[in-house]
Structure 1
Amino acid sequence: MRRHFQMFADYNRWANALVYEACAELTEAEYRADQGAFFGSAHRTLNHLLCADRIWLKRVTGSGEAPTALDTILHEDFAALREARIAEDQRIIDWIDTLDEGKLAASFTYSPVSSPTVITQPLGPVLAHVFNHQTHHRGQVHMILTSLGRPSVVLDLVYFLRGDGKRWL
């Protein structure tokens, strides 16, 4: 499973870079316009993804800063948000590299931001959720881009594996 999650961390970095590259072509008004996605705009959705990753990494590593709300705007400025995303993707890659099968099978306990309950789960399925969550919201940004008449961004894992991700085959 470790290699599987290493591949997903690398794919996550690749896909995020493509989404940010496409969003960099938007006007400021387009970038901030509510297009009906769960978090409204590309700006708010990209901030949410960074929030969620920081929350999960804080839970599983015990380090780093994590917002207390899922809709926190961590960066108003696109360039600063992009730099933070690049750094967070590298942080995820570096942390995944420290895991072994024992750590992936081990359980940890946390409380969701949206509910004050206590949950104990094994790390492996939680990591699957983290990467699936990224894919879900990147898909929403993709919808925002296409609704604005922008070119479709090819984000499928198979395209990553045929190009930048060949080493995972």
Structure 2
Amino acid sequence: MKNHPVEMFNYHAWATQTILGRIKELPASVLSQEVNSSYPTIAHALSHIYAVDTMWYLVLTGMSMPEALQECISMNESVLDTVDEYADRFARLAEQYREWFRSQADLEQTVLLDNPFAGIRQTRLSEIVLHVANHGTYHRGNVSTMLRQLGHASTMNDYALFWYQAPAESMV
């Protein structure tokens, strides 16, 4: 049986690369064209996803959330010049997550999460991983809307499509 949080992270990594692949097909200027949306440009939205993915990775690997937030503020505020740079950074970070998954015996263990915005609570590692996937899905939706505002179609990157991208497993 697959580990559901890990599978959702794999979906998140796949979907992010899928939408980056679509953006790569478009004129390079699309990345930095201003739109009236949640973020001023697609590059800003991608930087936000990357910064948050990194922040949660740091939390999962033992850094306190306030420290991790501080560490990632500059990532959230800076944009990269090319889609390839985003694709490379997201791919490297996804591999770091996968290495971390391989080292974890129990994603249901809890950690004390000190969220400066919401307070302190015991949180399962699996909940954090599911949040990373959910957060990415939300903001890829923003990117899809931004692409449409700029006159371009987005691309399907739904979880259901991800099911069909993975090799068929033995029928059980």
Q: TM-score, normalised by structure 2?
A: 0.80
What is the SS of the residue equivalent to 1:125?
helix
Which residue of the other structure, out of 109, 113, 131, is the alignment partner of 2:112?
109
- Whether 2:59 is the aligned partner of 1:54: answer no
CA distance in structure 1 between the aligned counterparts of 2:35 and 2:79, rounded to whole angstroms: 20
- Counterparts of 1:48 and 1:8, CA distance in 2: 19
Query: Could you list the per-position Cα deviations for residues 13-55 of structure 1 after superposition, in whole angstroms to 9, with x for gaps in the alignment?
Result: 2111111111113334321123233223110111111100110
Q: Is the 8 A contact 2:111 2:122 kept in 1?
A: yes
Whole-angstrom distance in 2 between the partners of 1:10 and 1:16 = 10
Question: Judging changes above 3 Å, is the alpha-carbon distance between structure 1 residues 122 and 20 closer, same or farther for their aligned structure 2 residues?
Answer: same
Point out the more displaced range, 87-96 or 126-135: 87-96
CA distance in 2, matches of 1:82, 1:165: 23
Bigger drift between 84-93 and 20-29 goes to 20-29
Contact 1:13 1:90 in 2 (8 A): no
Shift of 1:116: 8.6
Note closer, same or farther for the CA distance 1:152–1:81 as it changes in structure 2 (3 Å cut): closer
Judging changes above 3 Å, is the alpha-carbon distance between structure 1 residues 168 and 150 closer, same or farther for their aligned structure 2 residues?
Answer: farther
Name the aligned partner's letter for residue 95 of structure 1. Answer: W
Residues 42 and 143 of structure 2 are in contact (CA less than 8 Å); yes or no, is this contact kept in structure 1?
yes
The separation in 2 between residues aligned to 1:126 and 1:168, in whole angstroms, is 30
Q: CA 1:166 to 1:135, structure 2 compared with 1: closer, same or farther past 3 Å?
A: farther
Which deviates the most, 47-56 or 90-99? 90-99
| TM superposition shift of 1:83 | 0.8
Q: Which runs of 5+ in 1 are unaligned?
A: none
Q: Residue 12 of structure 1 contacts residue 134 of structure 1 at CA under 8 Å; is this kept in 2?
A: yes
- 1:136 is aligned to 138
Q: CA deviation at 1:69?
A: 5.6
**CA displacement at 1:70 relative to structure 2:** 7.0
Q: CA RMSD in A?
A: 2.7
1:99 pairs, out of 93, 104, 116, with 104
Using the TM superposition, give the Cα deviation of residue 158 of structure 1 relative to its aligned residue in structure 2, in angstroms.
1.1
Distance 1:126 1:162, change over 3 A: same
- Look up the match of 1:4: 4
Instruction: State the TM-score, normalized to the length of structure 1.
Output: 0.81
Separation in 1, partners of 2:131, 2:35: 25
- Kindly provide the amino acid, as one letter, of the partner of residue 27 in structure 2: T
Q: Which runs of 5+ in 2 are unaligned?
A: none
What is the alpha-carbon distance in structure 2 between the residues aligned to residue 143 and residue 39 of structure 1?
11
